[in-house]
Amino acid sequence: MRSSSVRVYHQVARTILGGHNSPTSTSPPPSSSAPVAVIRRRASSFCCSRSLSMSSSCSSISSIGASVASDPDSPVEHAKKAAAFACGDNYVKSGQKIGVGSGSTVKYFVQFLRERVRSGQLKDIQCVPTSFMTRRWLIEAALPVVDVEQCPRLDICIDGADEVDENLDLIKGGGGCLTQEKIVQSCADVFVVIADANKKSTALGDKYKVLPIEVVPVAYIPVQRWITEKFGGETHLRISSTKCSPLITDNNNYILEWHFPKDIPNRDWAAVHAGLVGLPGVVETGLFVGVTSAVYFAEHDGSIEVRKR
């Protein structure tokens, strides 16, 4: 069900986006039927004195320690950094166990953690990465890295998304990290997303036209057939961009890209997810339904929009 009301709270904006001394959110887990509050704020007030040189590609590892540069030049990159810092200032506090997601926007969040730990504003945190690349970023930032075997209960997880609908439901998995992202998110009490505003949509599938599905390699052919027979559409095996073979996930699995039918209004994505993960050989889907507490959108004019349940 789509949210029945959307309101703008100027006073809440001043509280939530007022800087790193703002209180940490203690909101309960979100309800899929709860209304979404929208808050907008210019990104300039979150400009920091130092920045990392960010790459939108996850195909190479850049050293965080060696890549401190001037603030991002483009408004959207400036807003992405500001969104990550605003999110961190409002949700992260000392002593927390933090799930750290994947993608170029999340790299700004790693910078936030690095700067706050170095300044002494954050102490005794532990970071659980959702991918090999994120783990490298955290290590290079000299941040404490653990895994869910050591920390099966997390205070918060902050991640990116490929699409966010008006109910704050997500499609993720464009980077192939969906299973580890889902595990880490499920371990966290609070899940917050930071994303470029072009990921925003009314309904899932409006912008991101495929659903990533992680499968055991031996099962990918029958799973493709079962998905088409049960749900329609087409499925394709994701091929690596650097070699002529399937992309291999961090879990040594394949990714299927399901081009789902677009002519089904008000699709029940929770039911679709349940049906897909019930197929033998399916490990996980990129659907994150009813789990997001808030989203920090970096707008193309350089401002930040915050949507909360």
What is d(CA 220, CA 225) in angstroms, rounded to the nearest whole number?
Answer: 9
Within 8 A by CB and 6+ apart from 210, the residues are 257, 258, 259, 260
Identify how many contiguous H helices and E strands the chain contains and give both numbers: 7, 17
Residues 30 and 54: beta-carbon distance below 8 Å: no
Q: Which helix (H) or strand (E) holds 49?
A: none
Strands 36-42 and 188-196: unpaired
Cite the DSSP H helix spans in 126-283.
132-140, 178-187, 220-231, 269-277
What is d(CA 206, CA 166) in angstroms, rounded to the nearest whole number?
Answer: 11
181 is catalytic: yes
Active-site residue identified among 77, 115, 163, 181? 181
DSSP helix, strand, coil percent of the chain (3-state; round to 5): 30, 25, 45
| Catalytic annotation, residues | 181
